[in-house]
Structure 1
Amino acid sequence: MKNYTLLCFIILNVFYGFCQESKLNLADKKYDSYAYVDAIKTYERIAQKGYKSEDLYKKLGNSYYFNSDFENSAKWYSELFALNPSPEAEYYYRYAQSLKSTGQWDKADVILNQFNTKYKNDTRARLYKENADYLDRIKANSGRYKIEDAGINSKYSDYGSIIHDNKIYFASARDTGNFSKRKHKWTGEYYTNIYDADIDTLIGEISRVNKIRSEINKRFHESSPVFTNDGNTVYFTRNNFLNGKKGKDANKNTLVKIYKASLENGKWTNIKALPFTSDNYSTGHPALSPDEKILYFASDMPGTIGQSDIYKVSINTDGSFGNPQNLGKEINTEGKETFPYVTSENEIYFASDGHPGLGGLDVFVGQIEADGSISSIENLGGDINSPKDDFAYIIDPVSRKGYFSSNKDGGLGSDDIYQFLETKRLKCMQELSGVITDASTGAILPGTKVTLYDDMQKTKNSGIADSAGRYNFDVECGKNYNIRAEKPDYATKEVNVTIGKTTGKTDLTIPLEKSVCKVMIGDDLGKCFNIKMIYFDLDKSDITTAAALDLEKILDVLNQHPNMKLDIRSHTDSRASHQYNQALSDRRAKSTIEWLIKNGAAKNRLSGKGYGETELVNNCSDNVECSETEHQMNRRSEFIITGL
């Protein structure tokens, strides 16, 4: 690809609270009064007192993790691992992600290695350890195109096509002029100019090629035009030459710049180099985002990672430009990245010799994320790519037709343009959908915020559940995702899902649990914290460490709601004598009250007694055979609200 090399690399390598407390309705009866209990804040205050609980640390870690406060999530997950070195798989992953986000890479690697050892079948663990052979990936991505000569090639270099207004524009080293045919001494070919040809959309054929007769084509190289949708502006690459003068760098070399021209009265005029270009580095191969608010290009400007990187720059409403931004190491390597092209599907196609390929420049595609970063980079496979240079790929995302350039064997000239039809998408896609429900009642929860994350916790998409509580996302087959559901008064929940490897649908219903308890007189406060039983040692009434943890929750709520009053009720099953059960339950109720008073609760706010086996919740009375689970239902502690 002689002239491509000449243009792009002349003497250089170029071109990239929850609820606040509700006000009471004074017109309501006192039995209709409510109190709002912030469970997470209660957990944190208890933890700060020194109480330790696996469930406590999980909930605290999750509450910060879901809010991207990774420093605090790492803190509480660290406490979790200190208490239980082998929690569920999800906590290994969340802890490692939190550590990475706070710069603790070595510690994160330790956790990920443990993750892989313990959960070998987890997709994320396998991806951490395995590096798939890139040749196998390229082979898997092949066989998806029908390719043929574009019908516009010459024996010289032809490359870098773009479609606009039913015309194909491209650079060519052919020279159709009659006089002053200027050849470059390195290649023996003419300097490249921009040409066009009409495309017959009905039969797909291209008419005779024409050289553009305008001020765009001058004495040296021009290539890579891109037009705005209205056709009134064109950006293109040219050697540093304007108004009859060559610009040179400190070494007297003429590099390349991106120029802009305006269409006025049918003629291209007002040609200017873009303001971020320079005599001292190269910029070229412009590409517009579909909304025309961003210009992508290749450059070796200061800050470039490799020989040439892909950059982007914002185009302001007044026509001015922002500051160029390097797209980063996700896409740019120490090699060459060049010829960007962006589609309406937020895909960026580009050529690179730094990513694993078949040789020379290969064409790759990546996904542009919501934050502008690039992910999911894939080699397009062995149909497009070859051991030679393959580049300047463009595609219509609807028809899946397009063009690319290559100097692969079998062409007419040093570089040729090929047209193609993509017969099979590179990405296998599925629809991930489901309904958000209340975990207790099964009621649908419209208006829930639902966010889709990849397995590296990068946001992929987000939305709001519709009136039927339903959400849906387009996802890639075989990938691992996290779905996070958030709704006021409910605990945020994140669910991991692995998508199947074939096209189809994946259904994932997400039930949410209440995080803010709405309680009224007569309710059991213990249900807010899933306290079914204040546990005592066998046949004793001393408060154990586990019981103290649960009572701290009750005490914290009493402190937050000074008008709340409780009746503490202790119940047993029927498997001892009635007299014994009555006495034991009464001692336990009194011990519970004494502990609360000793730790700060006012005596006049508490009452209680033991009920023994007198209020069974099922039929498990004396001489009735019941399972242990059924007996357990009768062994319970209640904290009944008697005043607010």
Structure 2
Amino acid sequence: MTKKILLTSILTVFLLAMTFAQERRVVKGNKKYAEYSFSPAIDIYKKVLDKGYVSSDLLQKLGNSYYFNANYEEAEKIYKQLIETYGSEIGPEYFFRYGQTLKTLGDYTNSDSILARFSEMTSNDLRSKIIKTAKDYKEEIARNSGRYELELFEYNSKYSDFAPAFYKEGLIFSSDRDTGNLARYRHTWNSKDFLDIYKVNADSSSSNRVVKMNMINSRLHESTSVATKDGNTIYFTRNNFIDGKSKKDEEGVIRLKIFRINWKDGEWSGLEELPFNSDSYSVAHPALSPDEKTLYFAADMPDSKGESDIYKVSIKEDGTFGSPINLGTPINTESRETFPYVSSENILYFSSDGHPGLGGLDIFATKIDYDDYSKSVLNVGEPVNSKKDDFSYIINEETKKGYFASNRSEGMGADDIYGFLETRPLNFECLQPITGTVRDKISNEVLVGATVKVINEDNEEVLSAITDNKGDYILSCDCNQGNFVRAQTQGYMPAEEYLPISDGKPIIIDFYLEREIIEAGFGDDLAKLLQLSTIYFDFGKYNIRRDAEIEIQKVIAAMEKYPSLKIKANSHTDSRGADSFNLWLSQKRAEATVAYMISQGISAERLIGEGYGETRLVNECDDGIKCSSEKHQLNRRSEFIILE
């Protein structure tokens, strides 16, 4: 019995020691994981797992370590074990990553099933909404596929080569290829050498050969970059490393930052860190707008929706910067949006694993004309996109030639650069904003409640809007085809304009509708029917004022529209002055009104003028009553009475 107890005690101590040893390994692995040192974290977690020690947390971290290292075959095994064992305990993010991993391995059926479970677990997640509304995403990708001819970049190596950027007559790109140094630095994310920037075919000194840009590179990472058109300024991504020293955040992570350097007096100088960098988050992958006044980049700033978002920041004339702005939805999701590039046609290309794709990171595009980032995001399709990670896309819109990087299996190294020729453009949904006001053609009064429709060339109504209390409307139409815009309302003749195929630039169309008929009888005041402003005269004068001329022109327009219309111009004065003078003055005002209309082409046979002096005042300002100038003004007027 004593021997059994002793043996049991020894065994218990041994098991406890083993447990403590595995726990120490897990703690060490967690530390590496927290530092984004995924490669050593994988080694540690795998040893613990192989010993039979398993937990939800361990599987999550091991699966993520494989996932972020693009080792999708191993990630699939771990995520599968995680979900089968702890499915009811884990958050939706692991279902999303498992679904993405299955998609990368070509298992679209199971991927769609897992992603459907993910969408059921979330409500406010943009990816969930996309999954629910984009059930035919594979058909959309198929429609956009087949538009590229690919070729492998001749300067690839057996190492990682990616992030091509146009530079002078050639390219600059990033690589962790052998630099010839005896002391090689390796990054613990993936246990590979640190990245440097190289150039090829950029100038006579590097023609047809790859040259390392030593004056930019440091002993840590330099990767994605963009150069100004003149080649004198380069923005590039580097680890938080300046003046020969690296700096870690509170978790021990060396973050990524964007730097700017200038070519001056035959050398690169003036290295500066951009002011919106931070020691607590990463800023990377710079891209310039066509006018070079806006810098786009990827970051995981505090207001990021996901693991990384696309941002923009203005570049001022003095070289300083505005405040970074998150591009928001629908571009950014709760996953990774990264590697932006803006073409000369204002198409923003970027990589994402949050939008529906073929697997891993896919390349997407959206039109950003007129500072509008709300348009549809489209997958550029195969063969640029694949089951693997596809990223760092650039294109020359004039030649339709460009480059991107991918870790697909047919390449030479871990990541490879591919050249392409775009044989047909991406078919964007082109929506042209249309705004305007609907008015009465004669009175210029706004027409509230009028209907404005967009009708395509097949005479099908596409959409419509109702004018608000200011007579305004807002619509949009497909600018990839011609459309008619038609305004109509009861009692008026419809009016329409044709919009041909366009670039989608916003347009203003104001409509001026004509009445079908004037429903009036003998003795009605035409000015009131047309909602004209009253025609006034200056004190003691009968010349036509400029403001009165505008209103009389509207009466003339009505008489031109309705040739049978005959009117009588009644003119009046205020009570000041002798009755006989006022009668004469009002007659002169009536005659002046009629004479003006005749001078504008209205037949004299259709016009009569009569003055009434002060006999028809519109207010209390009679003889002996003290009134203001404004009140007297109301009586010095003309009316247009319908005779026939």
- Does 2:209 align with 1:208? yes
Aligned to 1:513: 512
Code of the residue aligned with 2:368 in structure 1: it is: I
- Does 2:332 align with 1:358? no
> CA-atom RMSD, angstroms?
5.0
- Does structure 1 conserve the Cα–Cα contact (< 8 Å) formed by 2:305 and 2:333? yes
- Does structure 2 conserve the Cα–Cα contact (< 8 Å) formed by 1:429 and 1:474? no
Aligned to 2:287: 287
Once the two structures are superposed, residues 473-518 of structure 1 have per-residue CA deviations (whole angstroms, 9 ceiling, x without a partner) of 9965369x78699xxxxx9999698989xx99xxx9x995357xxx
Aligned to 2:339: 339
- Does structure 1 conserve the Cα–Cα contact (< 8 Å) formed by 2:353 and 2:360? yes
Code of the residue aligned with 2:256 in structure 1: it is: V
Shift in alpha-carbon separation, 1:410–1:557, aligned structure 2, 3 A: closer
Q: Normalising by structure 2, what TM-score?
A: 0.52
Shift in alpha-carbon separation, 1:358–1:551, aligned structure 2, 3 A: farther
Once the two structures are superposed, residues 273-293 of structure 1 have per-residue CA deviations (whole angstroms, 9 ceiling, x without a partner) of 100100000000000111111
Shift in alpha-carbon separation, 1:403–1:556, aligned structure 2, 3 A: closer
- Does structure 1 conserve the Cα–Cα contact (< 8 Å) formed by 2:521 and 2:642? no
Code of the residue aligned with 2:518 in structure 1: it is: I
Within a 5 Å distance, the mapping from 1:165-314 to structure 2 comes to: 165-198=168-201, 207-214=208-215, 216-314=216-314
Shift in alpha-carbon separation, 1:423–1:246, aligned structure 2, 3 A: same
- Does structure 1 conserve the Cα–Cα contact (< 8 Å) formed by 2:495 and 2:511? no
Aligned to 1:92: none
Code of the residue aligned with 1:310 in structure 2: it is: I
Shift in alpha-carbon separation, 1:483–1:10, aligned structure 2, 3 A: farther
Code of the residue aligned with 2:267 in structure 1: it is: K
Aligned to 1:531: 518
- Give secondary structure in 2 for the equivalent of 1:140: helix
Code of the residue aligned with 1:554 in structure 2: it is: K
Once the two structures are superposed, residues 66-124 of structure 1 have per-residue CA deviations (whole angstroms, 9 ceiling, x without a partner) of xxxxxxxxxxxxxxxxxxxxxxxxxxxxxxxxxxxxxxxxxxxxxxxxxxxxxxxxxxx
CA distance in 1 between counterparts of 2:295 and 2:510 reads 43
Shift in alpha-carbon separation, 1:349–1:259, aligned structure 2, 3 A: same
Once the two structures are superposed, residues 283-336 of structure 1 have per-residue CA deviations (whole angstroms, 9 ceiling, x without a partner) of 000001111110000000111111100000011111111000001112111111
- Give secondary structure in 2 for the equivalent of 1:152: coil
Shift in alpha-carbon separation, 1:180–1:315, aligned structure 2, 3 A: same
| Aligned match for 1:164, one of 161, 164, 167 | 167
The structural deviation recorded for 1:177 is 2.4
The structural deviation recorded for 1:9 is 7.1
The structural deviation recorded for 1:560 is 3.5
CA distance in 1 between counterparts of 2:308 and 2:425 reads 29
CA distance in 2 between counterparts of 1:492 and 1:220 reads 72
- Does structure 1 conserve the Cα–Cα contact (< 8 Å) formed by 2:486 and 2:494? yes
CA distance in 2 between counterparts of 1:496 and 1:371 reads 27
Q: Which runs of 5+ in 2 are unaligned?
A: 1-32, 39-64, 69-131, 433-438, 443-453, 457-461, 466-475, 538-550, 556-613, 619-638
Q: Give identity over the alignment, percent.
A: 43
Aligned to 2:41: none
The structural deviation recorded for 1:225 is 1.5
- Give secondary structure in 2 for the equivalent of 1:384: coil
- Does structure 1 conserve the Cα–Cα contact (< 8 Å) formed by 2:144 and 2:427? no
Q: Which has the larger radius of gyration?
A: 2
CA distance in 2 between counterparts of 1:492 and 1:344 reads 44
CA distance in 1 between counterparts of 2:214 and 2:243 reads 17
CA distance in 2 between counterparts of 1:559 and 1:156 reads 80
Within a 5 Å distance, the mapping from 1:565-576 to structure 2 comes to: none
Within a 5 Å distance, the mapping from 1:571-586 to structure 2 comes to: none
CA distance in 2 between counterparts of 1:410 and 1:492 reads 66
Shift in alpha-carbon separation, 1:494–1:348, aligned structure 2, 3 A: farther
The structural deviation recorded for 1:382 is 1.7
Aligned to 1:589: none
Shift in alpha-carbon separation, 1:276–1:560, aligned structure 2, 3 A: same
Aligned to 2:386: 386
How many residues get paired? 388
CA distance in 1 between counterparts of 2:288 and 2:416 reads 23
CA distance in 2 between counterparts of 1:398 and 1:209 reads 25
Within a 5 Å distance, the mapping from 1:5-44 to structure 2 comes to: none
CA distance in 1 between counterparts of 2:486 and 2:396 reads 33
- Does 2:151 align with 1:148? yes
- Give secondary structure in 1 for the equivalent of 2:187: coil
- Does structure 2 conserve the Cα–Cα contact (< 8 Å) formed by 1:281 and 1:299? yes
CA distance in 2 between counterparts of 1:235 and 1:513 reads 52
CA distance in 2 between counterparts of 1:292 and 1:381 reads 28
CA distance in 2 between counterparts of 1:492 and 1:160 reads 59
- Give secondary structure in 1 for the equivalent of 2:420: strand
- Give secondary structure in 1 for the equivalent of 2:140: helix
Aligned to 2:87: none
Shift in alpha-carbon separation, 1:177–1:264, aligned structure 2, 3 A: farther
Shift in alpha-carbon separation, 1:165–1:137, aligned structure 2, 3 A: same
The structural deviation recorded for 1:189 is 2.4
The structural deviation recorded for 1:369 is 3.1
The structural deviation recorded for 1:152 is 1.3
- Give secondary structure in 2 for the equivalent of 1:408: coil
The structural deviation recorded for 1:556 is 8.0
- Does structure 2 conserve the Cα–Cα contact (< 8 Å) formed by 1:182 and 1:191? yes
CA distance in 2 between counterparts of 1:130 and 1:252 reads 41
The structural deviation recorded for 1:233 is 1.3
The structural deviation recorded for 1:558 is 7.5
Code of the residue aligned with 1:343 in structure 2: it is: S
Shift in alpha-carbon separation, 1:226–1:453, aligned structure 2, 3 A: farther
- Does structure 1 conserve the Cα–Cα contact (< 8 Å) formed by 2:201 and 2:209? yes
- Does structure 2 conserve the Cα–Cα contact (< 8 Å) formed by 1:200 and 1:207? no
- Give secondary structure in 2 for the equivalent of 1:376: coil
CA distance in 2 between counterparts of 1:197 and 1:310 reads 28
The structural deviation recorded for 1:366 is 0.4
Q: Which runs of 5+ in 1 are unaligned?
A: 1-5, 15-128, 433-437, 442-451, 459-472, 486-490, 516-526, 536-549, 567-601, 607-638
The structural deviation recorded for 1:175 is 2.1
Aligned to 1:554: 528
The structural deviation recorded for 1:531 is 2.2
Code of the residue aligned with 2:426 in structure 1: it is: L
Aligned to 1:413: 413
CA distance in 1 between counterparts of 2:423 and 2:342 reads 20
Aligned to 1:544: none
- Does structure 1 conserve the Cα–Cα contact (< 8 Å) formed by 2:526 and 2:642? no
CA distance in 2 between counterparts of 1:354 and 1:286 reads 20
Shift in alpha-carbon separation, 1:268–1:9, aligned structure 2, 3 A: farther
Shift in alpha-carbon separation, 1:331–1:267, aligned structure 2, 3 A: same
Code of the residue aligned with 1:194 in structure 2: it is: I
CA distance in 2 between counterparts of 1:499 and 1:213 reads 53
Aligned to 1:326: 326
Within a 5 Å distance, the mapping from 1:89-168 to structure 2 comes to: 133-168=136-171
- Does structure 1 conserve the Cα–Cα contact (< 8 Å) formed by 2:494 and 2:513? no
Code of the residue aligned with 1:212 in structure 2: it is: M
Aligned to 2:44: none
Greater RCO, 1 or 2 (C-alpha within 8 Å, sep 6+) = 1
Shift in alpha-carbon separation, 1:295–1:557, aligned structure 2, 3 A: closer
Once the two structures are superposed, residues 536-583 of structure 1 have per-residue CA deviations (whole angstroms, 9 ceiling, x without a partner) of xxxxxxxxxxxxxx99983684783478999xxxxxxxxxxxxxxxxx
- Give secondary structure in 1 for the equivalent of 2:387: coil
